[in-house]
Structure formats: structure tokens, C-alpha cells
Amino acid sequence: MTVTRFAPSPTGFLHVGNLRTALFNHLIARKAGGTFILRLDDTDPERSKDEYADAIQEDLEWLGLTWDRIERQSLRLDRYAEAADRLRDMGRFYEAFETPTELDLKRKKQLNMGLPPVYDRAALALSEEETARLRAERGPGVWRFKLDQERIEWEDGILGALSIDAGSVSDPVLIRADGQVLYTLASVVDDVDMGITHVVRGSDHVTNTATQIQIMAALGHGHPAFAHHSLLTGPQGEALSKRLGTLSLRDLRAAGVEPMALLSHMARIGSSQPVEIAGSLDEIADGFDLSHFGSAPTKFDEADLWPLTARVLHETSFEEVAGEIAALGVPDALARDFWEVARANIGTRADIPGWWALFRDGAAPVVAPEDRDFVAGAFAMLPDPPYDGETWGNWTTAVKEATGRKGKALFMPLRKAVTGLEKGPEMADVMRLLQKKPTL
């Protein structure tokens, strides 16, 4: 049974970088008919906000990335405390009292001597009396996990065979001095308890994975399959971290990005497969395979989402938008016809009302001074609505006979006068949908 999880901290809105992680984990579970868990990593009570937890769920629902189960770390603190006790009993957990300034000084010294800035484990050598004295002087210390000094190896689903020398990593702090359980411990306990089989996350977590594998082993468990996807960069390869705030899923939604455009894009960028618009998440899941992804940073350009959004809309059936169109006040008898014409001419859904307004009320005519008389004469030859599919052909034939104009000189001034635009739907379609006789 495949079980995956997406584990955001509810300390902000989801952005495109998070989406990649959420999507990959969702797709793996979906493809295997497994379980996808949404896990809120909310052990930090100061930074975690209900508002963000709600927004995360709303954003995932917008995209159809629904979860089979939701878990909150803040409700599982007992489990983390139990695990901490076990590690303590095993002698794998030790209290350390250095202040951040002291640790910083140690790191600087090590770097000056050309040594890796790894915690020197001074606290391991403390006698019981020294520990008691420090605790009395400084209050409770942090709790560090004592890593076994060995090479930690795993086969990464994207990066291939990886190994990290535990000696090059500081013993991780799992519990803060104020008692707050940190992500590394909580995540390990959850992954084990929830039977997670696959963990896909950003490559910024590779070192965490090494220590998590050891903690899982210390608690008597094997580890899930790990895969680390590359991080997103901007179109020029620049770091995206500072801009991610402006690439939140809610902003993209508000700007009119279509879910299927975003999902199709995110499922393919950074892989050997071209971006193709998918019809559904199941279709994306069918073709999804982590082995198609590489380790190089993945370029993301928001601008790519607009042509994809337009293409998704061009293929969107009337049934999918019927409610939205009815809400605009389009009469039932015209609604389907209206959508078939409008959808090829919109960039986002926000463009739909404009087309209906044009058909309902007409446009402000655009007429060059030299075409004024021509257009006035042509409008005089146009009967009152209702119009049909023949109206444009009949009208322009009559205007052509009366004026001798033909081709572009005949059609373009009339298009601009009727629609106010140089481009748009076939004029036969425009006239058929037009509810008012155009006037100058």
C-alpha cells in the first residue's frame, strides 16, 4: 500500500515551490491507488496560524489535490515525547547548553582551522554534576540526537545513490530549550506511525534525510523511499526564494490561472517530458514517473502559465462553465453558442463577461475618419436584430454591391465598427450573437 504525505508548515501561503512537492506526492499515491495525507507541521505555536492552515486546504482543493486524511502535528505531541524518552533511554539523546553565541564562536574557530563547522559534542562529555550546574545556571538545554559516525546511504528516487558521512553533520537538535519539538523528530515519528512509504520533497532536505534515516533506525524502523526534487529558479536561473511570496497559489488563482494549466506545467517542468495540457489529474498521474526528473535546478517562468491557461479554456466544455455563463445573464438559448465563440478568444475567465457585454450591448465603434461615411452607409443597410448565421454574409454582400468595396477594405472597417477590435471571432459568429443593432 502506497502512502505519501505533503507536509507544509502553516506559516504562510502555499507557493509554486510547495505545489511541486504537493503534486508529486499526490500523483504517486493517486497512480498507485494509495493514500495521500495532508500533514500540517504546526509544532511552532508562534508561527503556525489557523488562517494559513485553512488557506493551504483551500488552495489544494482549488487544484483538486484532495487528501485522504489530514493530520496535525500539534495534536501528536505525546507521540513525540514518547519517542524522545526512548531515545533518551537508549543513550542517543543528550542535553546541551551552549548559547547561540558560543556555538557561533566554535564554528568560527573550526572554519579558521579549516575544519567542517560540526558541533563538537562537548555536551556529551559533561558529568552529571556539570549538567546539573549548567541547568541550574542556564535553565533547560536543547536535546540533540547522537548520530552514529558512519556513512548514511540511500537510493534516491531522483538523485540516485546518495551517501552522507554522519561525521560531517552536527548532531541535530530535536527539542528546543523551551521544550518545543522540532520538525526532524516530529517528521520521523509521523512518517513511521503513518506508514509513509514514499517521501518526496525538495533537495534542501537531503541532509535532513540522512539524520532522519538514523533516527528511524534508532527507533527500530526502516525508512520510506526518499526522493528529492530540484528547487525552482526564475527564468534566468536566479534564486526564486525571494520572489516565492509573489508566486503564491492564491495570487495565481486570483490572476486567472487555470488549475489544469498549472498542474500540467508543474508535473512536467524539470523532467524529460514536454509540457502537455492534461485533461485530468488521473491522466497526469498515469504518465507520472519520478525517473523522468533530473537534479538540475528547474526554471519556472510565470509567463508560461498564460498561454497554457488560454489553451485550457479553449478546450473547456460548455458544461464546465454553464453556471458561470448563466450567472452573467446569457439567455439559455444562446449560452452554448456564446461559449463556443467566446472560448477561443479569451486569455482567462475574466475575459468572458467582456465578450457577453459586447454581444449584449455592442461595442464603442472604432472608425477611421476616412471610413466614416462608408460605415454610416453600411449601418443604414443593416436590419434590426434578431440576427442569424446568414446576417453577416447577406449584409456584406449588399454593402459590397452598393459601395464597390471588397476584401479587407470592406470587412476590416465593419469589424472595427461592430466590435471595436481588429481581431476576434468570425464576424458571422459575432453578428449571430449580437443583440443590438450597432450604431455610430
Any residues with CB less than 8 A from the CB of 196 and at least 6 apart, and which? 3, 4, 5, 37, 190, 224
Write down the least CB distance from residue 219 to ligand GLU, Å: 16
Closer of 46 and 128 to ligand GLU (Cβ) = 46
- The 3-state DSSP class for residue 149 equals coil
Write down the least CB distance from residue 59 to ligand GLU, Å: 14
Consecutive H or E run containing 352:
helix 352-361
Nearest to 367 by CA among 381, 352, 379: 379
Closer of 76 and 360 to ligand GLU (Cβ) = 76
Query: Which phi and psi (to 5°) does residue 143 adopt?
Result: -110, 125
Q: DSSP for 363-401, please give it.
A: ------GGGHHHHHHHHHTPPPSPP-TTHHHHHHHHHHH
Q: Which residues bind ligand GLU (CB under 6 A)?
A: 7-9, 41, 183, 187, 201, 205
Closer of 187 and 271 to ligand GLU (Cβ) = 187
Closer of 8 and 413 to ligand GLU (Cβ) = 8
Write down the least CB distance from residue 7 to ligand GLU, Å: 4
Task: Compute the distance between CA of residue 43 and CA of residue 73 in angstroms, rounded to an integer.
Answer: 6
Write down the least CB distance from residue 309 to ligand GLU, Å: 27
Closer of 56 and 363 to ligand GLU (Cβ) = 56
Closer of 44 and 283 to ligand GLU (Cβ) = 44
> What is the four-CA torsion angle of 128, 130, 134, 139, rounded to 10 degrees?
10
Closer of 169 and 399 to ligand GLU (Cβ) = 169
Residue nearest to ligand GLU (CB): 41
Closer of 228 and 268 to ligand GLU (Cβ) = 228
Write down the least CB distance from residue 102 to ligand GLU, Å: 28
Consecutive H or E run containing 95:
strand 93-96
276-301 burial code (b ≥16 CB/10 A, e <16): ebbeebeebbeebebeebeeebbbbe
CA atoms within a 13 Å half-sphere pointing along the CA-CB vector of 262: 28
Write down the least CB distance from residue 29 to ligand GLU, Å: 14
Closer of 202 and 297 to ligand GLU (Cβ) = 202
Closer of 187 and 309 to ligand GLU (Cβ) = 187
Give Cα 382 distance to the centre of its chain: 51
128 with 136: CB under 8 angstroms?
A: no
Could you tell me the three cell numbers for 413? Answer: 472597417
Nearest to 216 by CA among 246, 247, 185: 185
Task: Compute the distance between CA of residue 439 and CA of residue 364 in angstroms, rounded to an integer.
Answer: 9
Write down the least CB distance from residue 225 to ligand GLU, Å: 13
Closer of 81 and 182 to ligand GLU (Cβ) = 182
Could you tell me the three cell numbers for 384? Answer: 434590426
Nearest to 231 by CA among 12, 6, 19, 14: 19
Write down the least CB distance from residue 187 to ligand GLU, Å: 5
Write down the least CB distance from residue 191 to ligand GLU, Å: 8
Beta bridge partners of 202: 229
Write down the least CB distance from residue 212 to ligand GLU, Å: 8
For 111-172, where are the E strands, in sequence order? 142-145, 151-156, 160-165
DSSP one-letter code for 274: P
Write down the least CB distance from residue 41 to ligand GLU, Å: 4
